[in-house]
Structure 1
Amino acid sequence: MDSVDLDQVMDEIIPRGDTRPPAPPAANFPARQRARGGDDAMAALDLVSQAAAAIKELEKQSAQAVARAHGAANAVREKLERAEDRGDRAEAALRKSEAEAADLTAALIQTRKDLDALQSRLAAKHADLVAMEQRAIVAEKRATEADAAVQRIVDAIRTQLPVKPGEQGKPIA
């Protein structure tokens, strides 16, 4: 950010150094006493003229200093306005970022809740799957045992039934 050097601004407004008009030359006092009449009036007019010139020069310098002061004040005001605009934009961006952060935080919280619910359902489904696998193993074991029992019954029936002479080599279906 541009900073304003007040000493520089003051130097521009009111230049330092001796800018006063030169003082009138010292009057030759003894010669003055001799020619008092017309010379006094001329000297007074000369002093008034010099004073008027000095006043005009001071007024001119004052007007220039005022103009420089107005210019410096306008420049400072414009810089201040630009800085305020940048500050306003920064505050708006901050508010927007804070709102977005709040939205993202809420979305993250909801996502976490959804994930927890999904993990809970997944754990329940996994437990159901393990139980079904156990039931399937038990059912398969029972089916195997039932097949074995049926086979034993079939074998027992075969051994118990008399065989006809023409069917000895044929298996019973």
Structure 2
Amino acid sequence: MRAPRTPRTASDRTAARKALAAEHGWTYTARDTRALRGWPRTALPPGPLGSVVDEVSGVHRGRAFRLFDYLYGPGPNALVVHALELPARLPYAYVQDREGGAHDLYAEAADRSFALALLDDGVRADIRRAGIADLVVDGTLLISTGGDTAPGAVLERLDALVDLVGRIPDEVWSQWGRTGA
């Protein structure tokens, strides 16, 4: 079976997202202007706040998620954003693969020991294997930006994020994880 092709136009992307949501019993929302309230700016491109379109939300492999296209800048440009709910609240961390998967990952966090524990060898390998270039841990969300808009590609990224959460070392959850609001 051939993988679905990347939708070429906005109307093709909309139709593909609606079909994806319907196929899995998820919710489709055309526009959600409040979707980014409270989000860390590092999870999005610099500049004026853009808009959220073609959002799909639901539960995948036991994890609540949202994915959407973020429209920003002149043109506008579109960026696929995935947000996966974490099992506990974690401190903020920003992880970027500056080398395109070559050597090491850049991590920014208030507590350096948290960033080091979070990026153990298994987590690093998962990030590289999935081709994740930008990742933000923000409270109860794991946010990933970038990737292909094809239905198969957004599902692959969603699977990779669920796998990544499962790979986070127990030490991270026991030492820095907090339950509740």
Larger helix proportion of the pair: 1
- Could you state the TM-score of these two structures normalised by the residue count of structure 1? 0.20
Q: Highest Rg: 1 or 2?
A: 1
More strand by share: 2
Normalised by the length of structure 2, the TM-score is 0.19
